[in-house]
């Protein structure tokens, strides 16, 4: 019978336990681990935990989604079906539904991953679980953005506002989302939707591209409420050349007196 005289330390044993259980190690390495396990109670405990984890995964069942989640899905799906029946040219229901399901699945995986982490020994938790959780979080963020981009094309202005409000849950602003938000701010027929788009973009005023775009958009706006909102956003952001841009806008025709008064106050504030 082949034996091994090479000693193996606890850290190495714990790193190799998963491969050991799956019979993926060389005969020499497996014998070394078995010899270590005969004399090390700590590594035996870790082996027992790993076996328990594998058993839990093997016996895992697919949980029934909570009633509130199913009702929210049903509500969104019914709205999509109504849109389709009205002859809408918007994205098909299968696309939006698929996004919703993937979001739910990703969140579920995140929750399950956190629960499994309670049974996982420190090395695996540090080296594997953290990376997997980060990947799942990124996937959730990407799926949320896809959902926003699909909902923002809805016929209902309230649904478009709802989509814009969802941008608060996104971790960053990529070029595609930025282009959609800016187009909505400039071209949406609803003032309320344009206001929501301005608020959504205001969270990214650290970006020079966003600042310049909102200043340019101000000159395109005709609704006083949207004008006032953009003026306040621009002033609050301390954007370079904001005072000069507002002075140019103040020369525009057909501005309401309230807008002119606000411009006068804000320009003086910026030039102090």
The stretch 230-237 carries a mean pLDDT of: 91
- How does pLDDT run across 93-129, given as a tens digit for each residue? 444 555 555 555 555 555 545 444 444 445 444 555 5
Q: How far apart are CA 200 and CA 163, in angstroms?
A: 10
Annotated domain spans of the chain: 10-58, 67-151, 172-270
Q: Comparing 76 with 270, which gets the higher pLDDT?
A: 270
Q: How far apart are CA 240 and CA 237, in angstroms?
A: 9
The hierarchical CATH code for the domain 172-270 is 1.25.10
Most confident of 103-117, 143-157, 190-204: 190-204
**CA dihedral (218, 219, 224, 226) positive or negative:** negative
Q: Say yes or no to pLDDT of 151 above 90.
A: no
Cα–Cα distance list, 77 to 49, 82, 151, 166, 227 (Å) = 43, 9, 12, 18, 36
Most confident of 73-77, 84-88, 208-212: 208-212
Q: What per-residue confidence (pLDDT) applies to 99?
A: 52
| Confidence label for 209 from pLDDT (cuts 50, 70 and 90) | very high
The stretch 214-231 carries a mean pLDDT of: 93
Q: Say yes or no to pLDDT of 44 above 80.
A: yes
The stretch 76-86 carries a mean pLDDT of: 55
Do 225 and 191 meet the contact criterion of CB atoms below 8 Å apart? yes
| Cα 232-151-191 angle, rounded to 5 deg | 35
Q: What is the pTM of this model?
A: 0.54
């Amino acid at each position: 019978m082949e034996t091994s005289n090479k000693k193996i330390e606890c850290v190495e044993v714990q790193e190799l336990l998963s491969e050991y259980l799956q019979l993926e190690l060389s005969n020499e390495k497996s014998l070394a681990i078995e010899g270590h396990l005969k004399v090390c109670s700590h590594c035996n405990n870790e082996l027992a935990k790993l076996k328990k984890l594998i058993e839990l995964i093997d016996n895992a069942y697919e949980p029934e989604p909570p009633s509130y989640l199913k009702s929210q899905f049903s509500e969104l799906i019914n709205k999509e079906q109504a849109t389709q029946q009205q002859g809408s040219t918007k994205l098909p229901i299968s696309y939006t539904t698929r996004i919703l399901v993937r979001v739910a699945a990703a969140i579920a995986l995140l929750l399950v991953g956190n629960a499994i982490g309670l049974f996982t020994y420190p090395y695996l938790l540090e080296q594997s679980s953290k990376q997997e959780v980060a990947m799942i979080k990124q996937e959730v963020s990407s799926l949320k953005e896809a959902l926003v981009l699909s909902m923002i094309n809805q016929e209902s202005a309230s649904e478009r506002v709802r989509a814009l409000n969802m941008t608060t849950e996104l971790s960053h602003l990529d070029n595609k989302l930025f282009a959609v938000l800016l187009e909505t701010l400039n071209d949406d027929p609803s003032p309320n939707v344009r206001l929501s788009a301005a608020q959504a973009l205001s969270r990214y005023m650290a970006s020079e591209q966003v600042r310049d775009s909102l200043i340019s958009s101000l000159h395109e706006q005709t609704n006083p409420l949207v004008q006032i909102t953009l003026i306040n956003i621009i002033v609050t952001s301390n954007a370079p050349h904001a005072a000069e841009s507002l002075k140019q806008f103040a020369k525009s025709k057909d501005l309401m007196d309230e807008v002119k008064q606000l411009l006068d106050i804000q320009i003086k504030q910026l030039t102090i």
